[in-house]
Structure 1
């Protein structure tokens, strides 16, 4: 079953369950937000797709399908705050993944024909959930230590394989291609298995590194369009 969604290409990967704050200032995306405001509150949603390397939000010349990754995430709007100069502050939450089948660039902003993707847990979900929870807790401790921060109380992690897999994907300091690969994973167990490998790699690196640029885990700054 397919659907049509307005698309918001960004230099980031949105995961289901994660909050996305946006400061919307480019005209084409102001138009998108104005169109969203014309809809009932429960129908205000758009698709977030990550831009391929070297692209900018306003740089979509040529075939727009080539400019973005083919798997994205539906963003459900929670709040829209307009400014007098025409900008908007938008807060949305990642809902479900989709596969991008086609892009219509005939209007003021891109509209995608999308197909919803299932969210199976996969095999060995409980085993992988436990292994990743332990490795991720170690990662958090080592990362905060490398930043010169004292001991911190770690948040309790969810025991649902899919929810945990997206939380870890969002919180890890990874490049965009790794982030996108985790979004594309066919099920929660496959994603957790990939994360376990990445966590072991990062934990080994952090063992030998004493100083890193400050990174705020589990928090995400406002993304400009």
Structure 2
């Protein structure tokens, strides 16, 4: 049984990559691995020393932290990243593409098991969907999709985004709507930590409506993130 198949509540260990960003389930995150410890993580993922090509990403609480030493230095709810495409550069650095999968709660960290951090985590599940709420769920889903369209029409070129498929599950929809939008770290962490699918959908609707209003009022568009964020010693702070 892989880590991704472990029942909720089970404790497992994961390599950890603290970043100044939040990875959401279903979101794609490209990374440029510069530090020796994360080059080694890439090697371990590719060779199977770390099984299933999975590791955990947690957001740092503040850029003032120079080295993650305790769970207090990071947000304790994170997301597993599945390694997809990878390219090793001649000098040993790596360009990789990851996809967010499953949320977890970080319980502790270990500095001694590997060059990179290793954490003990437990899986974090959503609360059950309420029964008899299909009509309210449909209305809320459409409101969130409408907020998403307003944001994207103000922020991006039309051919650079597309709405999630109509049959997207309610518990996944909020993450996919937020993935294309440049929400602040605190807002993305708020969505990641929310365990009620309808509350999470309501929150993403409110956040995207707010951001779309900012863009319309300021007549500005957000600066897109670089295609491949460079993770250096300064950027990763770890």
Distance 1:153 1:224, change over 3 A: closer
Q: By how many angstroms is 1:46 displaced?
A: 0.5
Aligned alpha-carbon RMSD (Å): 2.4
Matches within 5 A, 1:15-26: 15-26=24-35
**Farther off after superposition, 80-89 or 153-162:** 153-162
Q: Kindly state the Cα deviation for residue 174 of structure 1 after the two structures are TM-superposed.
A: 1.8
Residues 28-47 of structure 1 show CA distances to partners (whole Å, capped at 9, x for unaligned) of 11121222222179711100
Residue 122 of structure 2, aligned match among 93, 105, 115: 115
Q: 1:40 to 1:105 in 2, by over 3 A?
A: closer
Change in CA separation of 1:190 and 1:196 when aligned onto 2, cut-off 3 Å: same
* Aligned equivalent of 1:141, options 150, 153, 161: 153
Quote the offset at 1:152 in angstroms.
5.5
CA distance in 2, matches of 1:76, 1:153: 24
3-state secondary structure, aligned to 2:16:
strand
Secondary structure at 1:207 match in 2:
helix
Displacement of 1:121? 6.5
Q: Which residue of 205, 211, 214 maps to 1:196?
A: 205
1:171-210 matches, within 5 Å, as: 171-210=180-219
User: C-alpha distance in 2, partners of 1:66/1:160?
Assistant: 33
- TM-score, reference length from structure 1: 0.84
CA distance in 1, matches of 2:110, 2:137: 38
1:131 counterpart (143, 148, 159): 143
Counterpart residue number, 2:229? 223
1:163 equivalent among 162, 172, 175: 172
Using the size of structure 2 for normalisation, the TM-score is: 0.80
Give the corresponding residue for 2:79.
73
Number of residue pairs the alignment of both structures matches: 214
SS in 2 for 1:208: helix
Specify the alignment match of 2:4 in structure 1. none
Distance of aligned partners of 1:213 and 1:139 in 2 relative to their CA distance in 1, 3 Å threshold: closer
Partner of 1:28: 37
Give the gaps of 5 or more residues in structure 2.
Answer: 1-9, 131-135, 232-238
Tell whether the 8 Å contact from 2:18 to 2:58 is kept in structure 1 after alignment: yes
In the alignment, is the contact (CA less than 8 A) between 1:23 and 1:88 conserved in 2? yes
Does structure 2 conserve the Cα–Cα contact (< 8 Å) formed by 1:102 and 1:114?
A: yes
Instruction: Identify if the C-alpha distance between structure 1 residues 203 and 85 changes in structure 2 by more than 3 Å, giving closer, same or farther.
Output: closer
- 1:109-150, CA deviations, whole angstroms, 9 ceiling, x for partnerless residues? 100101111245634433321110112112222334xxxx6x
